[in-house]
Amino acid sequence: MQIFREMKKIKITQIKSLIDRSKKQKDTAKALGLRKINHSVVKEATPQIMGMVAKIEHLVEVEEVKG
């Protein structure tokens, strides 16, 4: 029997522009689903997502979603 754990969810909001950023940073934001300033997405806090957020932490705001 496999036990499923509820993963924490985080809300990622783009707070700065992607203009004049490296292609890697633009691609990371796109992969997270961010499109423009003040756009938010809710993702599970997996190690992969947290690594992507760490690469563009200066462009985004992260908060934990309860519920």
Where are the chain's structural domains?
9-65
Query: Distance between CA atoms of 56 and 67, rounded to whole angstroms?
Result: 26
3-class secondary structure, 35: coil
Q: Quick: pLDDT tens for 13-52.
A: 999 999 999 999 999 999 999 999 999 999 999 999 999 9
User: In this predicted structure, what is the pLDDT of residue 55?
Assistant: 98
Nearby residues of 44 by Cβ (< 8 Å), 6 or more positions away:
7, 8, 9, 10
Query: Which CATH code for domain 9-65?
Result: 3.30.1390.20
Q: What is the bridge-based pairing of β-strands 9-14 and 60-65?
A: antiparallel
- 49 φ/ψ angles, rounded to the nearest 5 degrees: -65, -40
Structure tokens at 29: 């934001």
User: In this predicted structure, what is the pLDDT of residue 25?
Assistant: 98
